[in-house]
Structure 1
């Protein structure tokens, strides 16, 4: 996506991405998307994202153009306020916070009215939303002041005070809620990596409900904001890590066991390589890989196996040691190495092993090796079985690899 082109479109529609005013930017973005993006364009965009594996990292995100605003409270409040203008989103939000939707058949959404982040109101009722996605601290008696302003000054029935939090640990301060009835206060998490957050229960749910009749700008901007919201929140792993910490603090005796497990895990790659060396008579190279050479008298050089070990996998390679000299731009050596590759391929076919390997990709002229991948730990046993089979073939039939060409 061409940012300059987008800037030009924005300026034509009365806005600018490069002025740090998120409300105006969002309004401009809506003008652009409603004018230039139809159903076919949106569908092609989604297909492009899926094809190029950008689901978690869109090549273009309309809100990333104002990335300096991510941490700012107004950035999220402006977007959320705009999203609440959509009836589907509002319906799901009201359901999530436990408010009767029939009270809000006709409503308006305001920003910073009497310093309230977001106020959803009718002539008789209202919902106060305090956005803390940026981790801002509560001001003295903050929610209590908002409550009194709406109830006493505006004469509105306050149906709910929503405290939008970045995680499950940040709650309204006691001083902030003061004498507000507890049943009116609802703390919701923006994104927590589970299924009971604003992300899942309101925005993602609304996106799934929107059909082809919905204006396309809602679909596009909602999709883009979902990504930004994920970046503000915690994950399930954050919660598990916190629970893990609490257990360590409460039971210090368990820490030695945990430390031992961590040490064993950190040494696991070395242990796996040494096990391969012990089993198959090879060597451990720098705690990175197992290797074993097989000398061919006919060829006058070694054919070799390398098994590189990683935390989540093992990569087994079969190749000719000629490759080391071939990379020195020696035409004679390169020609021998290329012939070795052909000989290895023929030899693997002879022993019915060629289907086990992933062949070098076209254009890979530097490290042309035959490779087979094994996931760890689920395929560790398969690695040993295959390595055993391959090594036995090499031990018995090494001289038949060389074709003499």
Structure 2
């Protein structure tokens, strides 16, 4: 079959490219090393981007990188704003916000690893981080001079999808907007993002050698990533000009997407049954966020996220509030460790499973495959079962009451 030949040719191109990379003389790149040893998923790329943008990060450049970024967005009067930068906050990859003198929000949706758009994804981000941030003020939430959403992808052939802009059927009834009301800015790692990094380099002084090398390595990493993408696409182009191959490939990709959805739905169904048969309540925030609550009143819960693993989570909890419940949780749940401050730049994580690495995956594709073809669910179920009892349920409800 021609499709078999296509797959074989793809594997040959990858093998040839990797062999050339090993034999060609080139300088050591810290990001190539990280990618090979640890993997560079979207979460890690988001944290790198947030690190550079954060004026309080230990890169020694203060607001320099952030100001150059805001300048490229053509925002006005940003110099005196009190900016805070977060990675992976409330499911936003990178969140940049100012509360004084004017409330402003910038969301970066990072698609560094080609993840597909989830249904209503950009709408949920706009609602949670712009609409609610402006206290449900529709006029301010539509104002592009104080709100931006940047869709950052590796290549010009990946744009945001229209279905991600639309309002979900349930859960957002209080908001009148049926679609994200501000224009989305498409940025690409190989052009707009790269140009910003070059601008950052150009404005460094002679004493900033370490951060200069860091940024240079990141630029080179993306140059190599783009070259690899172009090499693969050029090598496969002859197959794509065959109409039957093109049609077959489209059908295969469509079936792959549906298979992935089915696998995740099966995982969800098993986790839901485990929760409800134990007297708990199940809720799925999105394809990568599964929650188990002690009752319909929400509050503290167990959460499984494929990028962060298994945790105990409480919406809106502060570091000070955590201290009030620390002793209760540590004394009852020994296979999780307590998070005194932040986890992934977020205070809402209260405890994290001690051996989370085996439950974490770089993207939705890997998670879906593992969920269907390995003992992932059984592993998670064996961790949760000892805790999904009446004693823990009552403790969680008492914690909710204590924090009200």
Larger of the two Rg values belongs to structure:
1
Task: Normalising by structure 1, report the TM-score.
Answer: 0.41
Higher relative contact order (CA 8 A, sep 6+): 2
TM (normalized to structure 2)? 0.41
